[in-house]
Amino acid sequence: MEAKVLDSWVLAEFATPDALVDATRQMREKGFQGMDTYSPYPLHGGSEALGLPPSRVPFIALGGALTGMVTALAMQTWMNTIDYPLNIGGRPLLSLPAWVPITFELTVLFCAFGIVFGLLGLSKLPQPYHPAFEFEGFRSASTHGYWLSVPHPTGQDATDTTNQLKSLGATQVTIVSGENE
């Protein structure tokens, strides 16, 4: 069966994090979309340079927290007032102050699960394969390298993108392509 080329990327390595952020900003201003940066640590100004929207994580955390709180209150209401009511020490069956610890714990638990799974989903993880991972020089992205990947339409000449990246200070530029077997 023939291998079918899906996409290709132009990878550029920069000497410093500031050079990477500046190049990313300039490439975005030139109209390039879908770029991504790779570095050993988060870069100050990297998200703004990529033009990423504000994070949705706080809303995911709020949704998880509210879900946990409602679940805890509904569970305790059902168990203590409807399913198996017990009169212990004259305490009322619907006793919200007594339910605070369980409500708090379930709120925190659901919030944490929401954040973990929300981040995995938003980050499109796990991503076991990307063509950039096959390029030997790209391994420096986890130790000391600062890389920018620019998506490139398959079948078009990438010399213009390559020349633009070199003019912005890229120390190394290469083209990688993804294949689907």
* Mean pLDDT by groups of 10 residues along the chain of 181 residues: 61 95 95 91 93 94 98 96 89 89 98 96 84 84 90 81 93 81 43
Assess whether 69 and 114 both reside in one domain.
Answer: yes
Q: Are 175 and 152 in contact (CB under 8 A)?
A: yes
User: Which residue range is the domain that position 138 belongs to?
Assistant: 4-54+126-180
Q: DSSP for 76-136, please give it.
A: HHIIIIIIS----TT--SS-GGGGHHHHHHHHHHHHHHHHHHHHHHHTT------GGGGSG
Q: Identify the pLDDT of residue 58.
A: 97
Asked if 23 and 72 sit in the same domain, the reply is no
What's the domain count of the chain? 2
Q: How far apart are CA 91 and CA 70, in angstroms?
A: 22
Assign residue 160 the CATH number of its domain.
3.30.70
